[in-house]
A = this chain, B = another copy of it.
Amino acid sequence: MDHKFSHHPYIPNSDEAIKREMCDFVGISSVEELHRDVPDELRLHRSLDMPKAIRSEYELYRTVSGMLQKNETCEENINFLGSGCYQHYVPAICDEINSRAEILSAYAGEPYEDHGRFQLLFEYQSLMAELLDMEVVNVPAIDGAQAAATAIRMAERATGRKKAVVCENILPDKLAVIRNYCTPAMEIVVLPFERESGQFDLDSLKKLLGEDVAALYFETPSFLGTVAGNAREAAELCHACGALCIIGTDPAVLGVLEAPVNLGADIVCGDVQPLGMHMNYGGGQGGFIATMDDERLVREYPSRLFGITRTEVEGEYGFGDVYYDRTSFADREHGKEYVGTQAALWGITAGVYLSLMGPQGMQELGETMLYNARYAAKKLSCVGGVSVKYLDQCFVSEFVVDFSKTGKSVGEINDQLLSRQIFGGRDLGGLFPGMEGCALFCVTEVHTKDDIDALAGALCEILGKEGK
Q: Chain A: residues with CB nearer than 8 A to chain B?
A: 7, 56-58, 61-62, 89, 91-92, 96, 101, 360, 445-446, 448
Residue of B nearest to A59 (CB): B448
**Beta-carbon contact of B96 and A58 below 8 Å:** no
Copies assembled: 2
Separation of A446 and B61 alpha carbons in the complex (Å)? 11
Separation of A286 and B160 alpha carbons in the complex (Å)? 70
Residue of B nearest to A93 (CB): B57
Taking A56-B89, A57-B92 as given, write out 10 further A-B residue pairs in contact, using a Cβ cutoff of 8 Å, ordered by the A residue number: A7-B360, A57-B89, A57-B91, A58-B89, A58-B445, A58-B446, A61-B89, A61-B92, A62-B448, A96-B101
Separation of A360 and B96 alpha carbons in the complex (Å)? 33
Contacts of A101 in B (CB 8 A): 96
Contacts of A89 in B (CB 8 A): 56-58, 61
Residue of B nearest to A96 (CB): B101
Separation of A91 and B58 alpha carbons in the complex (Å)? 8
A–B complex contacts, Cβ < 8 Å, 8 sampled: A7-B360, A56-B89, A57-B91, A58-B89, A58-B446, A61-B89, A61-B92, A62-B448
Residue of B nearest to A9 (CB): B356
Residue of B nearest to A101 (CB): B96
Contacts of A96 in B (CB 8 A): 101
Separation of A7 and B446 alpha carbons in the complex (Å)? 22
User: Distance in Å from the Cβ of A355 to the closest Cβ of chain B?
Assistant: 12
Contacts of A92 in B (CB 8 A): 57, 61
Contacts of A61 in B (CB 8 A): 89, 92
User: Distance in Å from the Cβ of A255 to the closest Cβ of chain B?
Assistant: 15
Residue of B nearest to A65 (CB): B75
Separation of A110 and B209 alpha carbons in the complex (Å)? 70
